[in-house]
Amino acid sequence: MIFNRKIYDKLLKWKNSERRKPLVMRGARQVGKSTLIREFSKEFDFFIELNLERKEDLLVFDLDKVTEILDLLLIKNEVSLQKGQLLLFIDEIQESPKAISLLRFFYEDLPDLHVICAGSLLEHVIENIPSFPVGRIQQMVLHPFDFEEFMGAKGNSQLVEQLDEIPIKPFLHDTLLKHFHEYAMVGGMPEVVKTLVANKNYLELYEVYDEIWQTYKDDIEKYGRNSTEKKVLRHIVETAAYEKDRITLAGFGNSNYKSREVSEALLALDKARLIQTIYPTISTIPPQEIDSKRKPRLQFLDTGLLNYIMKIQAEFIGITSLNDFYRGKIIQHLVYQLIQSQNSSVGFKLHFWVREKVNSSSEVDLIYQYKQYLIPIEVKSGSQGRLRSLHQFMENTNHPYAIRLLANKLSVEQVSTPGGKEYMLLNLPYYLSTLIEQYIEWFVSGKGV
């Protein structure tokens, strides 16, 4: 069962680029990296896959020259490059630091060869390789399915096509919101979606979630550098889902662990892309100044997985509104996931905005940089919602554009701050989160007024 992924178009651009370099496909375990690359291999005449967890494949890199490695692979697989293009896929490349180091020579000595590599624990290996080929490779990050990919997998391709038409047709709102609620419950882990499509039974998903979550917990032994760090990692993984919106590092999850211990463990989980630590910005104009001394938020890989950990998925059945569901934690988490999933850059991260003073604090859920603007985005329940923090941000920024994500239909309204500054507020339905860039462009250009 093959599902369309948005990143496929970027792979095609990479394939046809004159500046092409070996591609490192990064991302958490079980987000579909290997499946995607095998499907992409159909764009080539020949495909050779190596899995470096297999000893016979690992032995290939006992050779010192990439030209020799290629000759050996061509002979073993009876491939002639004179008869077409070849894609070489090196999976689980973290098993061979030498193979990672040799990527630069694939670029320098075999520029016509298409090379993609991936690895489940690659994030933890890279920093320990002194000869990591910076500047000689390209990198992309694969995320779980977003909302459109989820609907496409379920056969709702016509609705996906309608989403591409900006602005969205108002009569589609209720239908899209219904599908979005299902996505909010299930999430975007490929194996979960595949099981749902095949069996159309929510109950059968629990076993899949359990297998995925157990795999991540088993990986803790590989993330931790020593026994103490492994204990802290296990504690964080078991308790993080139940933490407040913004966390305190010292004593995390009612423990006795110190701030430094928790911080180092969270860094390891962040590298694994399992749980990200999101620190706030204090800026209202670019560049964003990130304040790592203030309380951060935690962002799980997938909202469906988070729902499973919290044992709340049954509460989604028959739900007609996500307003105030778990105090807005789930919808805020999902919006972060969806917007972040649209960017395949390794270092891309979203932030929220804070302004903390004595007896006064303000917080905007999300900041999105668009050209020379930092656009504030509030994730609100219901048609109304307090805009005090949004007002404070807008009074200190260099533009008149703000966004509120909510369950209502698309609309634009003019708002005034207490200080008298007028700005435009785009009310955007949750299900359009993945199109935030396109709608900001539509909004800022004046087409939405």
| 383-440 pLDDT tens trace | 445 789 999 999 999 999 999 999 999 999 999 999 999 999 999 999 999 999 999 9
The answer to whether 364 and 337 have CB atoms below 8 angstroms apart is no
The answer to whether 417 and 393 have CB atoms below 8 angstroms apart is no
* Tally of residues, the chain: 449
What is the pTM (predicted TM-score) of this model?
A: 0.94
Helices then strands, counting H and E runs in the chain, come out as: 19, 13
pLDDT of residue 359: 66
Regions of the chain where pLDDT drops below 70: 1, 130, 323-324, 327, 358-360, 381-385, 448-449
State the Cα–Cα distance between residues 86 and 73, nearest whole angstrom: 11
Per-residue model confidence as pLDDT tens digits over 91-145: 999 999 899 999 999 999 999 999 999 987 777 777 777 677 878 899 999 999 9
The count of other CB atoms within 10 Å of the CB of residue 115 is: 22
pLDDT of residue 393: 96
Delimiting residues of CATH 3.40.50.300 domain(s) in the chain:
8-141
The answer to whether 269 and 298 have CB atoms below 8 angstroms apart is no
Q: Dmax of the chain from CA atoms?
A: 74
Structure tokens at 42: 């159909």
CATH number for the domain whose boundaries are 8-141: 3.40.50.300
pLDDT of residue 382: 45
- 67's enclosing H/E stretch is helix 66-77
pLDDT of residue 449: 64
Among candidates 67, 5, 76, 147, which has minimal Cα distance to 436? 147
Residue bearing tokens 């709102």: 173
Q: How far is CA 189 from the centre of its chain?
A: 11
Is there a cis peptide before residue 287, judged by omega within 30 degrees of 0?
Answer: yes
Determine what percent of the chain falls in helix, strand and coil, rounding each to the nearest 5: 45, 20, 35
